[in-house]
């Protein structure tokens, strides 16, 4: 290598700084200009420092039903806020895309030789670790800022930078009407920096830098349209669930510390070679489950998945980059990275597998009945992430990572395609108001169709190979139950994806005449990334063609040195063909049903599909429940949040509106306990304070005495 | 106590320290407890402050007694410091209470709980 | 007690600052309100000069020296804290320039009092004798009482002062009682002598009681539960620059003497005092972080948050078993703590245009749009307070928690991690207000270069020490108690 590894994350960081600074300065100038213009227009408004209306106006929303829409462009702002001037957009775009693109080039420059040499050698190349500098050394602990290049991080590195660059490019077109164009690219670059730090880190604490960084960027980008209440609420949900996950993550890191005496990834080798420092396996279970809790938060697994669908309030490129292709797979990466530790705790792996399976089928079932195009994709993402954990849980870490890889391409393509559709439809996201878009936006149509076929698992597209290997591994590992769940989910996936395609592109247009006239294909900055991603969805599966189909499964061979040695339970070739046939048949069935039901010429916005409607009615009470996302949000509200709220008024006051005057429900004893805890200590009365102090002294004295 | 009376007392076989040092310790502790009780029970800020002064003087007594018992003058030195600090504290405390009274027309601590929770 | 004139050379920085304080106090009576700014600038100058006076012998390679019969130590440990305290003083004055200048209260004495408080803290951290520590502590505390109530016609300010005064006097009574018991049990007040006599003498219950009472007196100063009750009220009521100062300076000094007294004085009794410190630490973390959740006033929230931080920092004292690691973690943590708290309070100073307006969380609404730089910097401070990498706060917490784990305090570390997770909820209320909530009306904002510069300096250091903490770690290791 002729250049240091740290350059790869450093470039997006530089992009963030440049874009951020320029946006900051330009923003000041603009604000100053606007204030001056406002003063000119209101010469009678005195000195302008007494709370007059906000500049820019237009923040009010006359469209409460607009919740959940990726309100984009001029919709979010008043007409008085113009888009940036051309040269400014050009600058931000060039810096933003350039920084990521260059880092992609650098990444591929190290990854490609690494892959080639690794495949050429017998047991793969050893990990390349480059220490940038010493971070901390205190007490017995030493921690370096070090970057690692091994098979696993090379894989993540390649697709994160590649897909990231494409999405940056796409955003240039998608966000062109935004005043916050520069700010947006700054955040996006900051995200890239964090994500690259995450995947290249050589120790858990450094990984944690990236882990928190991507979380923060995700939070800020969900709230990008922050004048919308919904975005704020969605940000809140993402925040809460991620806190639960991070709690597990931090404890997991300290647990790894306690187990191995180090937090850099040498612990993986230690675990592999059976150096357990004489710790009881129970603690290994605990550490694995804690790390998995962290992974669940980041990767939206049951029960912490609720935030991901709501995160779609952010701009579509953000959904594609952060909430589909990269960040949400960080949890899978973490589990794969620590796979050597996980295999020491087989029951913990079983938990991983079942949580993954439950998420997969549960989210897929919700996806069946969603009408918002981005929501379908969001639940689909949750479901596919479930597949990945299912794979890890049955010990097929390689298959899980393969799915991460292929999923990044086809799901990013789908999201960007949906963004293109949404833009064509002028920010309409409801598929019931679409239909017949095929001839009007042909490029979007073709690319999305390729990705749809890929995710549905039709050979020989990418999704088929990765999904098939997961199902095969589940069956081979002796979990027919998991296999069945996976199979059913595959059918559902095919169904809801083709439902999406049929409702969007086929049949007749169900929107207003006026809307129909405005439909237009997106600019080249958006369609080129779509085509590249579609090509990936089309061809990347061939990297991992299993032996049974005459391939050599290059992908697995490459990854093997980074992962725990899995012990594939050999199944006969006949069985393998049978499994493959089953998964294709189920997918085909799903497609067939969706094709028959949806996209017919007679569909109306109210009844997009007569057959589906009849079926829906036939399901009795279940249908509406599924359509309402299994009432999970409500269930959580009733079962978890409500009692929790009661138990800790104090806790919930923290981020809900202040419960006025601290009215406490007398029936809830615990409320009084927590609420009064703070009140007891700080009544505002000095005499009580003195009493507290005195009691404190007495208690401590007694405590020492009787101890 | 002048030397003459002291030697007279010695001649009479009566110790100068006719009271055992532990008694001073007991008195000091009791005084501290009284001060503490006053600080806990009084409602007037000034009374609370005076109670706290009593606590500090109780400590002074303890210091003197220990100094005597141990024959170490450091304990007596401490008392001067404490007295000086108590004087400074009184000056500042009274000023604060005056300002408080001006602002709130009371120094009853039960009524001064604007800041709470 | 032997007294050498050369002893005076060791306290030249303190003498200089005292003299400067006196001169400025007198000068303040003669200046008009418009000239007050000069006093402030001279105060900054004298703090800086004091820093130089400290640095000169240190850079000349002077080792740890003791003066006045073991009452005063000029060592690396005290130097570390003195530099931090002086820096906090400078930042506080920068915060105060317009804040006090625009207020209806003449600011002349304000700066003199700040300097006296600083002198008190400097003597405190150098104190190696219970009485010199006590006197210095009172010098600091008496100045603090006045500063808390400086805006004397504001009911909140004067109430804060009165409460602080009563409770402070009470706690110093407790501390003094503890000192008298230690004196009674060991017959000495110098820390070295106390330590010697503890080793030689029999274990006495009197001594243990004395240690507990001293600990309680110091718990009050660092605002750890259940002696924290004053802190939220005082932080909320005091003028904001003073709240910032209280949150940092006195706490640093109190931690410094806490570690010094307990490590070099009562070290051999660690089995008794670690349990109460552990109890207080656990209680403090819970009370501080849970209490902050329901706060609507940012100053009060930061007050509770600093209570929570006091609880974390106590973990370092518990690591007595590996005390160098524990102590260096405390030094690093407190440095980070000082930077991020000063910064966060500084932003409140900027928002507070008139009276007490601008202290509510809602006043941060929409800040990201109106002043992206301020919002970004605030996010950095809040991330640091919450202990998210790569910030100084993370480094500090990471080292502290590792030290506590190393010393075997697993349950406390677990609790600390849990409470850090809870803390994010209230810190992120401010982030949410800034980034996700639309602001109403025009943002009221103090355009003030002095404050901005101070905040940016804190932010830069917070980030730098998070990314590259090794120099600080090396420095802290060189500044441990011998």
pLDDT of residue A88: 83
Distances (CA, A) of C62 to C47, C55, C58, C76: 21, 10, 5, 9
| A368 or C358, which is more confident | A368
Distances (CA, A) of C15 to A73, C26, C46, C109, C362: 64, 17, 11, 19, 45
pLDDT of residue B58: 95
Pick the residue of C169, C187, C228 with the most B CBs within 10 A to test the interface with B by mutation: C169
CB contact under 8 Å between C276 and A700, yes or no, is yes
Please check whether residue A85 touches C, CB under 8 A.
Answer: no
Pick the residue of A9, A139, A212, A262 with the most C CBs within 10 A to test the interface with C by mutation: A139
Least confident of A651-665, C114-128, C307-321, C396-410: A651-665
What are the residue boundaries of the structural domains of chain B, listed by start? 21-104
Contacts of A583 (CB under 8 A, 6+ apart): A457, A464, A467, A468, A471, A487, A490
C58–chain B nearest CA distance, Å: 31
Class of residue A166 by CB neighbours under 10 A (exposed 0-12, middle 13-18, buried 19+): buried
Segment A558-569 shows an average pLDDT of: 74
Given C131, C155, C183, which is nearest B103 (Cβ)? C155
| Cβ-contact C128, C191 below 8 angstroms | yes
Contacts of A351 (CB under 8 A, 6+ apart): A289, A292, A393
pLDDT of residue A619: 63
B4–chain C nearest CA distance, Å: 31
Express each pLDDT in A144-176 by its tens digit.
899 999 999 999 999 999 999 999 999 988 888
Q: What percent of chain C has pLDDT over 70?
A: 96
Q: Which of residues 2-21 of B touch C (CB under 8 A)?
A: none
Least confident of A275-279, A641-645, C90-94, C334-338: A641-645
| Cβ-contact C266, C198 below 8 angstroms | yes
The answer on pLDDT for A367 being more than 60 is: yes
Express each pLDDT in A630-685 by its tens digit.
555 555 455 544 544 444 444 333 323 333 233 333 323 433 455 556 666 667 78
CB contact under 8 Å between C169 and B35, yes or no, is no
* Closest by Cα among A558, A576, A383 to A485: A383
Distances (CA, A) of B102 to A275, B91, B96, B105, C154: 72, 17, 10, 6, 10
Least confident of A168-182, A216-230, C4-18: A216-230
Alpha-helical runs (H) found in A175-228: 181-200, 204-222
Q: What percent of chain A has pLDDT over 70?
A: 78
Distance of alpha carbon C474 from the chain centroid: 22
Please check whether residue A286 touches C, CB under 8 A.
Answer: no
Please check whether residue A246 touches C, CB under 8 A.
Answer: yes
pLDDT of residue C479: 87
Pick the residue of A53, A138, A197 with the most C CBs within 10 A to test the interface with C by mutation: A138
The answer on pLDDT for A47 being more than 70 is: no
pLDDT of residue A39: 66
Least confident of A41-50, A567-576, A659-668, B75-84: A659-668
Residue C67: strand, helix, or coil:
strand
Interatomic CA distance for residues A319 and C102, integer angstroms: 48
Pick the residue of B74, B79, B84, B91 with the most C CBs within 10 A to test the interface with C by mutation: B74
C319–chain B nearest CA distance, Å: 32
Q: Regarding beta strands A128-138 and A141-149, do their DSSP bridges make them parallel or antiparallel, or are they unpaired?
A: antiparallel
CB contact under 8 Å between A691 and B43, yes or no, is no
| Cβ-contact C59, C107 below 8 angstroms | no
pLDDT of residue C191: 92
CB contact under 8 Å between B81 and C160, yes or no, is no
Which residues of chain C does A24 touch, with a Cβ-Cβ cutoff of 8 Å? 372-373
A142–chain C nearest CA distance, Å: 11
Pick the residue of B36, B39, B47, B49 with the most A CBs within 10 A to test the interface with A by mutation: B39
Which residues of chain C does A216 touch, with a Cβ-Cβ cutoff of 8 Å? 379, 383, 388
Interatomic CA distance for residues A694 and A700, integer angstroms: 10
Segment A209-214 shows an average pLDDT of: 92
3-state secondary structure C176-214: HHHHHHHHHHHCCCEHHHHHHHHHHCCCCHHHHHHHHHH
Bridge partners for A138 per DSSP: A141
pTM for the full predicted model? 0.87
Least confident of A157-161, C50-54, C204-208: C204-208
Residue A453: strand, helix, or coil:
helix
| A613 or C165, which is more confident | C165
Which residues of chain C does A250 touch, with a Cβ-Cβ cutoff of 8 Å? 417, 420-421
Interatomic CA distance for residues B40 and A13, integer angstroms: 59
Fold category of B21-104 in CATH: Helix Hairpins (1.10.287)
CB contact under 8 Å between C212 and A700, yes or no, is yes
pLDDT of residue A66: 37
Q: Which helix (H) or strand (E) holds C73?
A: strand C72-74
Which residues of chain C does A235 touch, with a Cβ-Cβ cutoff of 8 Å? 432, 435-436
Which residues of chain C does B26 touch, with a Cβ-Cβ cutoff of 8 Å? none
CB contact under 8 Å between B70 and C187, yes or no, is yes
3-state secondary structure A645-683: HHHCHHHHHCCCCCCHHHCCCCCCHHHHHHHHHHHHHCC
| C323 or B83, which is more confident | B83
Segment A202-230 shows an average pLDDT of: 82
Cβ of B113: how many Cβ atoms within 10 Å?
Answer: 18
For residue A70, the number of C-alpha atoms closer than 13 Å in the C-beta half-sphere is: 33
A662–chain B nearest CA distance, Å: 11
Segment C418-436 shows an average pLDDT of: 85
Express each pLDDT in A115-145 by its tens digit.
988 888 877 788 888 888 888 887 778 888 9
Bridge partners for C65 per DSSP: C74
pLDDT of residue A664: 30
Which residues of chain B does C210 touch, with a Cβ-Cβ cutoff of 8 Å? none
pLDDT of residue C143: 95
Given A682, A687, A690, which is nearest B117 (Cβ)? A682
Cβ of C112: how many Cβ atoms within 10 Å?
Answer: 23
Q: How many CB pairs under 8 A join A and C?
A: 208
Interatomic CA distance for residues A523 and A445, integer angstroms: 14
Please check whether residue B73 touches A, CB under 8 A.
Answer: no
pLDDT of residue A614: 67
Pick the residue of A682, A690, A693, A698 with the most B CBs within 10 A to test the interface with B by mutation: A690
The answer on pLDDT for A226 being more than 80 is: no
Given A684, A690, A691, which is nearest B113 (Cβ)? A684
pLDDT of residue C132: 93
Residue A141: strand, helix, or coil:
strand
Segment C159-168 shows an average pLDDT of: 94
For chain A, which chains pass the contact test of at least 3 CB pairs under 8 Å?
B, C
Please check whether residue B40 touches A, CB under 8 A.
Answer: yes
The answer on pLDDT for C281 being more than 90 is: yes
Backbone angles phi and psi of A372, in degrees to 5? -80, 125
Q: What percent of chain C has pLDDT over 90?
A: 57
Residue written as token pair 């940016």? C456
Distances (CA, A) of A94 to A19, A73, A88, A347, A622: 10, 20, 10, 50, 51
Residue A130: strand, helix, or coil:
strand
pLDDT of residue A645: 45
pLDDT of residue A623: 59
C130–chain B nearest CA distance, Å: 10
Given C276, C294, C435, which is nearest A220 (Cβ)? C435
Which residues of chain C does B64 touch, with a Cβ-Cβ cutoff of 8 Å? none
Q: Which of residues 619-678 of A touch B (CB under 8 A)?
A: 662, 678
Pick the residue of C369, C395, C434, C476 with the most A CBs within 10 A to test the interface with A by mutation: C369
C38-61 b/e (C-beta count within 10 Å ≥ 16 → b): ebbebbbebbeebbebbeebbeee
For chain B, which chains pass the contact test of at least 3 CB pairs under 8 Å?
A, C
| Cβ-contact C237, C208 below 8 angstroms | no
Given A662, A685, A691, which is nearest B113 (Cβ)? A685
pLDDT of residue A80: 44
Express each pLDDT in A290-349 by its tens digit.
999 999 989 988 778 878 888 888 888 998 888 888 999 999 999 999 998 898 888 899
| A155 or A459, which is more confident | A155
Residue written as token pair 């001293």? C214
Mean pLDDT across chain B: 84
Q: What pLDDT band is residue A57 in, cutting at 50, 70 and 90?
A: very low
For chain C, which chains pass the contact test of at least 3 CB pairs under 8 Å?
A, B
Segment C349-366 shows an average pLDDT of: 75
Q: Which of residues 182-211 of C touch B (CB under 8 A)?
A: 183-184, 187-189
Least confident of A330-334, A604-608, B34-38, C393-397: A604-608
Please check whether residue B112 touches C, CB under 8 A.
Answer: yes
Mean pLDDT across chain A: 79
| Cβ-contact A340, A288 below 8 angstroms | no
Please check whether residue C154 touches B, CB under 8 A.
Answer: yes
- The conformation of residue A284, written as its DSSP 8-state character, comes to H
Instruction: Find, in chain A, the residue whose alpha carbon is nearest to that of C171.
Output: A693
Least confident of A237-251, A631-645, C83-97: A631-645
pLDDT of residue C437: 78
Q: How many CB pairs under 8 A join B and C?
A: 119
């Amino acid at each position: 290598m002729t250049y240091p590894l740290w350059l790869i994350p450093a470039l997006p960081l530089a992009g963030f700084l440049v874009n951020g600074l320029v946006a900051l300065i330009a923003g000041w100038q603009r604000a100053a200009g606007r204030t001056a213009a406002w003063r000119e227009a209101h010469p009678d408004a005195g000195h302008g420092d007494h709370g007059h209306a906000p500049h820019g106006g237009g923040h009010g929303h006359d469209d409460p039903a607009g919740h959940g829409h990726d309100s984009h462009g001029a919709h979010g702002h008043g007409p008085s806020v113009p888009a940036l001037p051309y040269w400014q957009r050009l600058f931000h775009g060039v810096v933003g895309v350039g920084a990521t693109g260059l880092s992609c080039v650098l990444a591929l420059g190290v990854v490609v030789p690494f892959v080639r040499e690794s495949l050429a050698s017998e047991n793969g190349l050893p990990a390349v670790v480059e220490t940038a500098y010493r971070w901390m050394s205190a007490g017995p602990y030493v921690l370096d800022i070090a970057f690692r290049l091994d098979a696993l991080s090379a894989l993540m590195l390649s697709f994160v930078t590649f897909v990231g660059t494409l999405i940056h490019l796409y955003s240039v077109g998608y966000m062109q009407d935004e005043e916050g164009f520069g700010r947006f690219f700054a955040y996006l670059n900051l995200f890239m920096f964090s994500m690259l730090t995450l995947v290249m880190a050589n120790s858990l604490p450094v990984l944690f830098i990236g882990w928190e960084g991507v979380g923060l960027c995700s939070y800020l980008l969900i709230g990008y349209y922050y004048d919308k209440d919904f975005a704020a609420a969605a940000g809140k949900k993402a925040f809460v669930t991620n806190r639960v996950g991070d709690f597990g993550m931090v404890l997991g890191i300290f647990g790894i510390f306690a187990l191995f005496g180090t937090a850099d990834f040498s612990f993986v080798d230690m675990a592999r070679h059976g150096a357990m420092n004489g710790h009881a396996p129970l603690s290994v279970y605990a550490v694995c489950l804690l790390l998995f809790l962290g992974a669940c938060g980041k990767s939206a697994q049951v029960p912490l998945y609720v935030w991901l669908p709501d995160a779609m309030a952010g701009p579509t490129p953000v959904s594609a980059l952060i909430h589909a292709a990269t960040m949400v797979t960080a949890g899978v990466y973490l589990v794969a990275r620590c796979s050597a530790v996980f295999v020491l705790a087989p029951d913990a792996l079983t938990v991983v597998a079942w949580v993954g399976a439950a998420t997969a089928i549960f989210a897929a079932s919700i996806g069946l009945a969603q009408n918002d195009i981005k929501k379908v994709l969001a639940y689909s993402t949750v479901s596919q992430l479930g597949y990945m954990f299912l794979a890890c849980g049955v010990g097929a870490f390689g298959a899980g990572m393969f799915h991460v890889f292929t999923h990044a391409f086809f799901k990013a393509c789908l999201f960007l395609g949906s963004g293109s559709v949404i833009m064509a439809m002028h920010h309409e996201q409801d598929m019931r108001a679409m239909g017949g878009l095929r001839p009007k936006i042909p490029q979007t149509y073709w690319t999305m169709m390729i990705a749809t076929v890929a995710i549905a698992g039709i050979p020989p597209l990418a999704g088929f190979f990765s999904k098939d290997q997961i199902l095969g591994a589940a069956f081979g590992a002796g979990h027919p139950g998991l296999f069945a769940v996976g199979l059913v989910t595959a059918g559902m996936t095919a169904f809801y994806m083709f439902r999406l395609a049929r409702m969007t592109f086929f049949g007749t247009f169900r929107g207003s005449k006026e809307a129909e006239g405005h439909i237009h294909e997106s600019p080249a900055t958006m369609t080129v990334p779509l085509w590249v991603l579609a090509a990936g969805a089309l061809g990347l599966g061939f990297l991992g063609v299993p032996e049974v189909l005459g391939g050599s499964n290059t992908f697995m061979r490459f990854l093997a040195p980074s992962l725990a040695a899995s012990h594939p339970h050999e199944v006969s070739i006949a069985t393998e063909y049978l499994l493959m046939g089953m998964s294709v048949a189920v997918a085909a069935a799903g497609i067939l049903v969706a094709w028959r039901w949806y996209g017919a010429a007679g569909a109306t916005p109210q009844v997009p599909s007569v057959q589906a409607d009849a079926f829906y009615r036939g399901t009795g009470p279940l249908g509406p429940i599924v359509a309402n996302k299994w009432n999970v949000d409500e269930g959580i509200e009733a079962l978890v949040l409500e009692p929790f709220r009661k138990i800790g008024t104090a806790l919930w006051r923290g981020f809900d509106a202040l419960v006025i005057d601290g009215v406490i429900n007398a029936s809830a004893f615990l409320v009084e306990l927590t609420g009064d805890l703070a009140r007891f200590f700080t009544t505002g009365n000095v005499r009580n304070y003195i009493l507290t102090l005195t009691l404190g002294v007495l208690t401590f004295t007694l405590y020492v005495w009787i101890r | 106590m002048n030397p003459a009376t002291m030697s007279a007392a010695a001649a009479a076989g009566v110790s100068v320290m006719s009271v055992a040092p532990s008694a001073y310790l007991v008195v000091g502790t009791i005084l501290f407890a009284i001060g503490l009780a006053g600080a806990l029970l009084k409602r007037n800020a000034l009374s609370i402050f005076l109670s706290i002064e009593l606590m500090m003087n109780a400590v002074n007594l303890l210091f003197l007694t220990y100094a005597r018992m141990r024959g170490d003058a450091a304990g007596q030195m401490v008392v001067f410091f404490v007295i000086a600090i108590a004087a400074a504290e009184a000056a500042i405390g009274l000023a604060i209470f005056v300002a408080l009274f001006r602002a709130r027309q009371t120094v009853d601590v039960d009524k001064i709980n604007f800041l709470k929770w | 007690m032997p007294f050498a004139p050369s002893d005076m050379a060791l306290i030249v920085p303190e003498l200089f600052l005292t003299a400067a304080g006196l001169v400025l106090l007198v000068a303040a009576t003669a200046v008009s309100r418009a000239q007050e700014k000069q006093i402030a600038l001279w105060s900054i100058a004298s703090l800086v000069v004091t820093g130089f006076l400290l640095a000169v012998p240190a850079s000349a390679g002077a080792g740890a020296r003791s003066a006045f019969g073991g009452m005063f130590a000029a060592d690396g440990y005290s130097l570390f804290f003195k530099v931090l305290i002086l820096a906090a003083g400078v930042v506080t004055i920068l915060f105060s320039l317009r804040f006090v200048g625009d207020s209806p209260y003449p600011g002349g004495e304000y700066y003199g009092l700040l300097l006296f408080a600083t002198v008190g803290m400097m003597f405190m951290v150098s104190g190696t004798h219970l009485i010199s520590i006590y006197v210095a502590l009172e010098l600091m505390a008496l100045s603090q009482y006045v500063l808390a109530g400086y805006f004397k016609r504001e009911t909140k300010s004067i109430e804060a002062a009165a409460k602080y005064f009563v409770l402070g006097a009470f706690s110093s009574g407790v501390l003094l009682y503890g000192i008298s018991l230690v004196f009674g049990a060991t017959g000495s007040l110098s820390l070295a002598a106390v330590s010697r006599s503890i080793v030689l003498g029999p274990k006495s219950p009197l001594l243990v009681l004395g240690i507990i009472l001293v600990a309680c007196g110091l718990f009050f100063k660092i605002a750890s539960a259940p002696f924290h009750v004053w802190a939220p009220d005082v932080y909320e009521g005091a003028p904001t620059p003073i709240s910032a100062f209280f949150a940092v300076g006195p706490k640093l000094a109190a931690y410094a003497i806490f570690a010094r007294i307990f490590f070099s004085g009562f070290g051999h009794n660690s089995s008794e005092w670690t349990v109460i410190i552990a109890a207080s630490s656990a209680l403090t973390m819970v009370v501080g972080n849970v209490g902050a959740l329901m706060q609507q006033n940012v100053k009060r929230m930061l007050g509770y948050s600093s209570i929570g931080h006091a609880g974390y920092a106590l973990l370092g004292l518990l690591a007595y078993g590996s005390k160098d690691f524990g102590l260096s973690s405390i030094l690093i943590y407190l440095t980070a703590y000082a930077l991020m708290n000063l910064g966060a309070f500084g932003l409140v100073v900027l928002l507070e245009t008139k009276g007490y307006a601008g202290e509510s969380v809602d006043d941060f609404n929409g800040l990201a749009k109106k002043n992206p730089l301020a919002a970004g910097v605030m996010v950095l401070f809040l991330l640091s307070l919450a202990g998210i990498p790569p910030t100084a706060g993370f480094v500090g917490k990471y080292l502290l928690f590792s030290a506590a784990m190393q010393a075997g305090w697993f349950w406390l570390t677990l609790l600390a991690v849990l409470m850090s997770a809870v803390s994010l909820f209230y810190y992120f209320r401010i982030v949410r207000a800034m980034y996700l909530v639309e602001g109403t009306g025009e943002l009221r904002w103090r355009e003030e270069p002095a404050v901005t510069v101070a905040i940016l300096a804190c932010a830069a250091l917070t980030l730098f020490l998070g990314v590259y903490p090794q120099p600080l770690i090396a420095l802290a290791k060189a500044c441990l108690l011998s």
